A and B are shown apart, each in its own frame.
Chain A
Amino acid sequence: MSEITLRVNGETHTLDVDPSTPLLYVLRNDLGLRGPRFGCGLAQCGTCTVLMDGRAIRSCNRPVSRSTGEITTLEGLPENGELHPVQQAWIDEQVPQCGYCQNGQILTAAALLSYSPSPSDDEIREGMNRVLCRCMTYYRIQSAVKRAAEAMAEGEVDR
């Protein structure tokens, strides 16, 4: 065991864990977060996604020692007490069925829109492609990404 410092959702945590521990288990079991979930442990499905310095990464096989950036989980996505536009779009489009994968879908979409604010249909498909959903809510997810992009663009204009 050794001392590890993590920045998660704007807070600093110092933990006594093995540096090779996958980030996922620290987030869930030590910090009590529910957003990232175990899906495959192989970085294949995206269920465990978190943002690190704004990029979507897989927490299931990333050692906590290599998780030195600013981590944002689904819990940390809202700003000033308001849901992120992607989260709001997910509600407006009534996207989730079981919802188990939606953490990864939402965070991947948020990252996608942060570097590609008005993606084409093909860019949405490609940008989201590595996040799997076994309820197959893909059709609504893609609509919700478009809706969020529009909402974010309007928000920019308003400002």
Chain B
Amino acid sequence: MSAGRRDERNGRMPSDGEPDGRAQRGPRAGRHDERMRRTPVNGDRQSSPLFDEAVARWGDTTSRRDFLKTSGLFVFGLSGVGVAGAGRWGFGTEPSGDESSEPASYPDPDFLALDSWLVVHEDGTATFYVGKTDGGQGTGTATQQMMCDELDLAFDQATVVMGRTDMTVDQGGSGGSDAIERDAMVGRRIAAEARRVLLEMASERFGVPVEALGVSEGVISLREDASRTVSYGELIGGRRFDVALTGGNINATTGVASIKPVQDLKLVGQSIPRYDIPGKVDATLEWAVDVRVPGMVHARHVRPPFAGATLVGIDESSVRDVPGLIRVVSEGNYVAVVCEREEHAIEAAERLVVEWEKPAMAPFPASDDLFDYMRSAERVPGSGGRGAARTQGDPDGALASAAAVVEAAYDIPFHGHTAIGPAHALADPSDGQMTIYTNDMKPYSHRTGIAEFLGMDPEQVRVIWMEGPQLYGRTAADDAGFEAAYLARELGRPVRVQWMRHEETAWDTKGPAFAIDLRGGLDAEGDVVALDYQGRIANYAHVGYNQARTVLIAQLMGFRPERPSPGGARGPDEMYYIPNRRQETRAVRFPLAFETPLRTGNLRDPNGPQTTFAGESFIDELAAAANADPVEFRLRLLRGATDDDEAFRRARSIAVVEAAAEAYGWDARPSPGTVGGGRVLTGRGIAYAYRARTTIAVIAEVEVDRGTGRVWVRRMVCAHDCGLVINPNSLESTIQGNLLHGISRTLYEEVRFDGEKVTSVDWRTHPTLTHMDTPERIDVVMVNGDPNPDRPDLRPYGAGEPSHRPVPAAIANAIYDATGVRMRRLPLRPERVLEELG
């Protein structure tokens, strides 16, 4: 497939009908201004002058250029192509400006070459090439700590380059909280291998065995004679390692060296300040939203006013007098305006008169009717993937013979990402190549998706990740890069796209709504003997990662996958021993599967907060029915069995529940507490979960104002076990963000829609947490509940998302504790709380 006009043979732009004679060729390359040329990768990291030097060093010598050329790390500037963005990174020669017709090519860095991952410079500093992206959780800094530790460099002797498809190995970008757990471990192995090679070189130089050498901050010395030293820079600075790695795939890449025992790591475990923060505080960091290239123009969109609407006609005369209007572009139901100046593109998009036809059938129910609709809809058989259904024992039989049965239904609405900055990207189409400057968290699939969408050879497409507003899954399916690339190809000029607020809030990818029904049985002793969890998830057309057929522009142009793809669906993740249980979650359909603003995608900890809200609220309901303390009740369920094969996870689950209770100062008693007669009631609630190999327990303490319905989460405690902690301060920041984002989703967030369109379009119609809602105290307790916490191979586990998961249930359980009223439908805005309190 491919969008729009193209030459089928080579994917290049046809030469006829070019709207603009200013083809982006060599001569323009000489006009880069100095400021832009000096801007290094990942922005202007002035906090790290080393970085500028490292980057400048790239182009110093002919041998360096040859090195880079042959190592596949450096392409532009050598082919004689005047790529508009080429000089801005500052290294390499200025594009020569000759009229070569060869398009630039960006081959994948070879993951089996050590030189693709790590370069040592003449001064002994190093640059690490990491195929990940950092959404502000500090994964770049943490990776640098881990690699410096293995290489025996001081932290500030290295820099990290992240997420450039032409320079960093395809580690997939961000997602799944795996940057530290998986990808940085690859980095550790590679840094360890580089250290091994350097030690062997020094051993040869000094004529002593490797064991006779020591390393500190990039200087190797003889243990017997500390005056005899050689630095990494002297050994290999500016030259290739030429060392081949092994591994059947990128994640398995390794050399022959072993990584260090955890006990020998010096930087790991330290709260080293994040390298990206100074540039974010003094406005020197260049973000994707800041990139400007010569000849760049601005685009804005006109979206269908009704979901599923069909474009009938465009009255271009309505914008004819907008200054600097270049073109109105439309294909299928995709409509964009392009202007010389940004504010004029905004004006043109507002003024353009477009006629649309409503679809014959309502695309979806109104949000007021959502849960009734979902419960009466047919469940799509087999949907939800692995883990969507499992049964153990005889839940129906056990429920029938239980001493007490509890039933409850939970409703969770669609959640938006509603990023603080709307989607944006800049695409530069010069010379048959395409460069996209983006904050897409998965630049590699962005590249292949855009190449497929445009019918280009992926080697002619380059995606450069730069910092941007929060990712959390939104930019795993980043529409703006596709749109910018399409428009740039259509116009033959660099095009910058930015969505408006109403577009972003209405049309971003959504976290799916859930309707969950639970039944539980207790025996006469108050032990849980049966649990039946039946979930429905409005997740029938999940957009996946940068797929050429499911990004919004593709859908609007009429491209379709063979069939809609339901996303994954599984129940809550906990380690409770309940002898008879069933968990089943299936997708339900809406009439409109494509071109819908309710398209679903991954949203931070996909499905975790929703399923855990139901699961952990219900465990609290069972505890109340058993007249048991919520913490003791959970510990009993966690200790209920010892013969499973997940003792590791079970032990760590118990550890976090106990640690949270201790840190909070939990007073053991059943919920609710004594409900007083005052206007403001207080209570505390706990929820626990695991995500992959990370375990978390959260306690919320709330104030509920019976007069206004306002809920304030006054205090939160999170006990968190993600194994080896790399940077405690950065981890704490990530957990705080997860907790507060969880409060926001619990108390405020809901995507609203009538029967034809999303009506949540800004911060008034889609409220979010504010400064006023911030807890007065947050305690993060880092637990290492590993049965052998001192083992030398202790691993780090993911932390970007897990602590988000228990928050809604912890809050609802605290409200129950305070008021005796169970909140089973989110969000808990004041009007709903008042209604529930009666």
Contact = CB atoms under 8 A, between A and B. Distances in A.
Contacts of B775: 139
Interface in B712-740: 729-730, 733-734, 736-737, 739-740
A153 interface: no
Interface residues of B, number: 62
Contacts of B277: 90-91, 94-96, 99
Contacts, number: 172
Given A40-B763, A97-B470, A138-B740, A132 B770 contact: yes
B228 interface: no
B273 A135 contact: no
Contact of A83 (B282, B743, B772): B282
B771 A136 contact: no
A134 B748 CA distance: 13
B283 to A, nearest CB: 4
B283 A35 contact: yes
Nearest to B289: A37
Interface in B467-497: 467-471
Given A32-B292, A138-B769, A97 B283 contact: no
B763 A45 contact: yes
A25 B496 CA distance: 14
B733 A94 contact: yes
B600 interface: no
B355 interface: no
B764 interface: yes
B276 interface: yes
A129 B343 contact: no
Contacts of B498: 38
Nearest to B273: A94
Given A38-B498, A94-B273, A98-B135, A135 B737 contact: yes
Interface residues of A, number: 59
A77 B744 CA distance: 31
A136 B744 contact: yes
A33 B736 CA distance: 31
Contact of B343 (A22, A78, A137, A138): A22
Interface string B131-171: 00001110000000000000000000000000000000000
B776 interface: yes
Main secondary structure of the interface of B (DSSP, over half): loop
B274 interface: yes
Contacts of B736: 136-137, 139-140
A34 B470 contact: no
A60 B133 CA distance: 29
Contact of A47 (B421, B730, B769): B421
B136 A99 contact: yes
Contact of A34 (B283, B342, B419): B283
B751 to A, nearest CB: 15
Given A22-B343, A25-B341, A129-B771, A40 B280 contact: no
Nearest to A60: B501
Contacts of A37: 287, 289, 421
Contacts of A59: none
Contacts of B467: 98-99
Given A94-B273, A98-B135, A126 B422 contact: no
Contacts of B769: 136, 138
Interface in B29-70: 35
B343 A42 contact: no
Contacts of B35: 32
A126 to B, nearest CB: 7
B420 interface: yes
A101 B289 CA distance: 13
B251 interface: no
Contacts of B470: 97-98, 100, 134-135
28 contacts: A28-B342, A29-B341, A32-B292, A34-B286, A39-B422, A39-B501, A41-B346, A41-B501, A44-B764, A73-B283, A91-B281, A96-B136, A97-B734, A98-B136, A99-B276, A100-B420, A100-B469, A124-B771, A128-B771, A129-B770, A131-B771, A134-B418, A134-B768, A135-B470, A135-B737, A135-B741, A136-B740, A138-B773
Interface of A: 1, 18, 21-22, 25, 28-29, 32-35, 37-42, 44-45, 47, 73-75, 77-78, 83, 87, 90-91, 94-103, 106, 121, 124-126, 128-142
Interface of B: 35, 135-137, 273-274, 276-278, 280-287, 289-290, 292, 323, 341-343, 346, 418-422, 467-471, 498, 500-501, 729-730, 733-734, 736-737, 739-741, 743-744, 762-764, 768-776, 778
